[in-house]
Structure 1
């Protein structure tokens, strides 16, 4: 197979990889920005040039043949090399200018980051921010994002960054349902466990607050689950049940009251993260230095000291 490879361009490898990833032609065509017929025609030309089939066509989709697996393996290596070179070149930029992609989650964005991003843009008007909201970790090695702002106890080992603060969590309910929260805080936990609860979804099952609900609250008492912290705060505020929230989110809502003091067992850590190849990039460094300084002033608030 080595000899025919000289007839293939990078776009051919890219096309085969797209079909393999999508397991079909329509999704692959959308991924690389061409129409379905072009993908079909070009795949036929590639297979004819190589003299082998790269895919088996099944009802469930396109499955790679051994020859196709070799092509995809080469494409993945080349893609990784291109990404690595791009990261290193971007890391050599001297002026803090251009687009910067930042990933965080909705609760951090709404309750903390938007105002900080506004101040950052005032200080660095030549840097354009592209904010990607997700509760899942994006791949900074592939530059899905340049900077990640994450509440996590285990930042990925392949990233570098700074721990800004701890994030305190406590149990909250509606003030209208608990007119005497001081008395409620002294209540036995078993009393609270018998109430209706809301919880984060199983996709966030690694958090200790989710494990607590799974271990201590009867399934029939968990009336509502949602896969974002912001959605959880909205649910408690709407009266769907009691539940754990980060203090900096719940304390900003006058309709909510703490039912118990913050529990160290439920704390998470707030991190600013980037890829090692980007840590000296001018705009990445500008954002991380700016946010570290601004967010350090919010540390007591994040750690639940202020109500």
Structure 2
């Protein structure tokens, strides 16, 4: 008699996990890139081979049975092992070549990183950059990205990285609405209209300051991106806090005060420990650290010319390392 369990393959585990993740056969088919009928037929075959139902069918979707939960748990463990293996192999490359997936946000990409990426590609043509814009953190352990470039005070503890600069923030207004920014009474600023970032960025200290100190009726405009906030200030919708490296490049904006130290956020270059010695990751991080160092004082709000200053290049440290 043929053992039915021998007919199970890794693709079967992937299929069951996909159904469990999205709770419907059409969505699982789309996720796997196969036909709905194939998913339906293969699910029936797997359940017949096991002699057990893996899902309960409800109007709200497919729900795992106890046996199904065990199969999905095993699939997750295998998937984690495969990901860890491929990540370690990627860290043993011999030369800087191949695709490098980099995640960052739109503000950093447009106002700082794109020119650096262009320069990097000219120097390392064999490394192809795949840039993923995302304000939320991608999972570097799952290789959603190889390198993350983030402004954060608390980088994930399971990553290693370099703190390459501190991003300064200051209060800005439209230049023609504030002809004498140096003579503005700080208390009178709270009588002006303000713009602020939205609730999705409420953890930023600049946003908390506005929430705590500006009367709600004075906050006439909120937007969920820093780029949108800079546009709003430049269009005269109100005054607002902005990163200096963005606002100082806009001639239509003026500072209404010096950078606020407590609003600053560290700029990190992050990767997974298994990838830190990969040649393509190594050459990319070394290049970016050196280039950002040239603009460090501009990013930190103390120099107008982004190419006028130099700085030291940080070395890799585990982000959870004790001092």
What is the TM-score normalised by the length of structure 2? 0.91
Q: 1:71 to 1:53 in 2, by over 3 A?
A: same
RMSD: 1.3
Q: Which residue of 2 aligns with 1:51?
A: 51
Shift of 1:110: 0.6
Shift of 1:193: 2.2
Q: Which residue of 2 aligns with 1:35?
A: 35
Please show how residues 1-307 of structure 1 align to structure 2 within 5 Å: 5-184=5-184, 187-189=185-187, 191-307=188-304
Q: In the aligned structure 2, how far is the partner of 1:93 from the partner of 1:55?
A: 42
User: Contact conserved, 1:175 with 1:257, CA < 8 A, in 2?
Assistant: yes
Q: In the aligned structure 2, how far is the partner of 1:258 from the partner of 1:5?
A: 70
Say how many residue pairs are matched.
302
Shift of 1:250: 0.3
List runs of 5+ in structure 2 lacking aligned partners. Answer: 305-323
Greater Cα offset, 209-218 or 105-114 = 209-218
Q: Tell me the alpha carbon deviations over residues 174-205 of structure 1, each in whole angstroms, 9 at most, x when there is no partner.
A: 11211111112xx133x222322221121112
Q: 1:173 to 1:5 in 2, by over 3 A?
A: farther
Give the secondary-structure state (helix, strand or coil) at the position aligned to 2:266: strand
User: Contact conserved, 1:135 with 1:228, CA < 8 A, in 2?
Assistant: no
Q: In the aligned structure 1, how far is the partner of 2:190 from the partner of 2:69?
A: 53
Q: In the aligned structure 2, how far is the partner of 1:132 from the partner of 1:181?
A: 38
List runs of 5+ in structure 1 lacking aligned partners. Answer: none
Q: Which residue of 1 aligns with 2:321?
A: none
Q: Tell me the alpha carbon deviations over residues 105-130 of structure 1, each in whole angstroms, 9 at most, x when there is no partner.
A: 11111111010001101110111100
Q: In the aligned structure 2, how far is the partner of 1:165 from the partner of 1:129?
A: 23
Q: In the aligned structure 2, how far is the partner of 1:202 from the partner of 1:156?
A: 22
Q: In the aligned structure 2, how far is the partner of 1:192 from the partner of 1:95?
A: 55
What is the TM-score normalised by the length of structure 1? 0.95
